[in-house]
Amino acid sequence: MDCVFCKIINGEIPCNKVYEDESIFAFLDISPQNLGHTLVITKNHHANIIEIDDNELQKLILVVKKVANAIKKGLNAEGLNVFTNTERIAGQVIFHIHFHIVPRFAGDGIRFIITKKNYQGQEREIVQKIRKNL
């Protein structure tokens, strides 16, 4: 497998490790959005949040919370953005599940812009389509 994150876990590519346990690994992003931008990944390869099994996802999100808290306290961050991208259209570049933790500070100039769309009147149909697949 030619996965850059798997290579990082195996020590083939160096990183600035923040956290490691038997199933989860966290390290500083090499292209950070802000000071302390950290990626939290599973050691087992899963492409994204849709493909990972529930037990491993639970372990992952608990470590995301733990690392996010440590980043906030350790860097005196005023807030955090925590997110994952799923599939190329949503911005996923490396197809190994990972959560970004981006510390936020007053005046840091970072903006996550979400364009609002109007789907008024379509809510019932949208809800039905989602619920049918739960």
Catalytic machinery residues:
98
Rounded Cα distance, 39 and 3, in Å = 15
Quote the CA–CA distance of 49 and 41 in Å, as a whole number.
Answer: 11
Tokens 């005046």 correspond to what residue?
107
Taking the chain, what is the end-to-end CA distance rounded to the nearest angstrom? 32
Torsion sign over Cα 45, 49, 50, 54? positive
